[in-house]
Structures are given as C-alpha cells and as structure tokens.
Structure 1
Amino acid sequence: MNATTASALIHRYIEGWKTADRATILETLDSDCVIIESYGPIYRGKEMVDRWITSWLGPGNTVDRWDVTSFSMTEDVCFFEWIFECTFDGKPGGFEGASIARFKHDKILFLREYATTAPLYEWAE
C-alpha cells in the first residue's frame, strides 16, 4: 500500500469516529482486524469492533477532536501521531498519542495506540 492510500484510509477511520458513523469506521477494517487501545483493551475482528463502537458511542459520548499531526509510512507499516479529545460519560478528556497500523487488501488489519501519560514540558536543568 502506498502512503497516500494508507493516509486516506486512516483519516477515513478517524472521521468515522468523529462523526459517530459506524459504517465508515467498519468499512476501513479488514474482517480479521485487531485494534489495541492505549490503556489495554484488544478488539479482534470486525464483529467485536462493532460491539465496541456501540458501547463507546453511547448517549452523550463524542469524539470532539482527533487531529493527525504527523504521518509516516514504510513498505508495509504506517505510524502517526495525533491529538485526541472526547466527551465520555459527560466528562471532557483528551491526550496526545501515536499509532502503528498495518494493512491487508487496502483495509486496516492492525492498529495499536500509544498514549502520552503526562503533560509535555520543556526540560531545563
């Protein structure tokens, strides 16, 4: 997969979350996909991802911002950094992070998130 196609696929997946569009999210995924969230849950297969979407996008839960700030691609893997903000259970939250993705037949096969766990700051002695 080339970088342009991979980037478009990742952005379509993210846009699906931002607009709460289950069909858009699922259409980007291979049937045997594996998604690993930064805090531990693993979702295997589109059926499990569909259940997760239903659970996550419950009443009042929204993805308020998910901006990709960098994107790089090797032969078969892409990695990208992002800023994420949401409202979950009525509470705003967010963090910066990065993801690694692998593809199969122009779909996302594997997606793993990593999160920044503390505010970033400039180090000074």
Structure 2
Amino acid sequence: MAAILATLTPDCVVIESFGPIYCGHDWVARWVSTWLAEDGHVIDWTVRDLRSSPESETAEWTFHYTWRGEEKSFEGATIATLRDGKLSNLREYATTAALYNWRGEWNAFPMTVS
C-alpha cells in the first residue's frame, strides 16, 4: 500500500474507467484494501507506450487480473498530471470491445464493459 501511495500526491484524484473517483490518499487506500480483500490480484499489467514530461504522463496498457474469482483483462490508456514528481490527477480509459481490423462492416458493439 505504501508503495502505491508514495506515487500519488496527498490530494490526488484517481478516476477509473468504469466510474469510481477516489479523492486523496485515504480513499485510494480504502479502494486498494477493499479490492485486495475481495480477492483482487494483478496477473499482468503490460505498459506498451509510456510518454512522460515533467508535468504529465500518458500510457497505453493491457491489464490482466482476477477479482471475486473471475479472471479478466482489458486494454486501456491513462492520462495523468504530475506535481512535484507525483501523480496528482489520473484518469483511466478502457477499450469497451475487442479490437478488429475494419473490412467494410462493423462488429456488434456491446453496451457494457466486461
């Protein structure tokens, strides 16, 4: 837990792709503790493209995990603002459907993220 909080400013804002917003160290700590208590495990988190400047970071990644007994993965991206070398505002975006090469017709678009 301490390692995660060390990367964030005390007044950080973390926005997950499916809606929750965690404001500050206390709420981030509660989120992580709850996720771990509900059998959350990161299997793999591969970052494919990380771009950094003194003020911001962006990344594309694939997140593979188990939670509540279900194994899942999704592709996503993060846009983050840095302050004093730490994340102060982080927003996550997730791909909502399997990627495919378009060949003149669209695949059905699911309305929920799995």
Report if TM-score (shorter chain) is over 0.5.
Answer: yes
Matched position secondary structure for 2:64:
strand
CA contact (8 A) 2:54 2:85 kept: no
1:116 matched to which residue of 2?
95
Q: How many residues align?
A: 104
1:79 matched to which residue of 2?
58
How big is the shift at 1:76?
Answer: 1.9
1:91 matched to which residue of 2?
70
Identity %: 45
- Equivalent-residue separation in structure 1 for 2:85 and 2:44 (angstroms): 25
1:106 matched to which residue of 2?
85
User: In terms of Rg, which structure is larger?
Assistant: 2
How big is the shift at 1:60?
Answer: 2.6
CA contact (8 A) 2:12 2:25 kept: yes
Deviates more, 1:52-61 or 1:36-45: 52-61
How big is the shift at 1:64?
Answer: 0.7
- Equivalent-residue separation in structure 1 for 2:92 and 2:43 (angstroms): 18
1:63 matched to which residue of 2?
42
How big is the shift at 1:75?
Answer: 5.5
**Which string of whole-angstrom CA distances, capped at 9 and with x for unpartnered residues, describes residues 31-82 of structure 1?**
0100000000000000110010110111532011111000123552221100
Q: Which runs of 5 or more structure 1 residues have no equivalent in the other structure? A: 1-21
TM-score by length of 1: 0.79
CA contact (8 A) 2:38 2:67 kept: no
- The RMSD of aligned alpha carbons is 1.2
Relative to structure 1, the CA distance from residue 102 to residue 35 in structure 2 (aligned partners, 3 Å threshold; closer, same or farther) is same
2:111 matched to which residue of 1?
none
Off by >6 Å, runs of 4+ in structure 1: none
Equivalent AA in structure 2 for residue 49 of structure 1: V
Higher helix share: 1
Q: Which runs of 5 or more structure 2 residues have no equivalent in the other structure? A: 105-114
Matched position secondary structure for 1:70:
strand
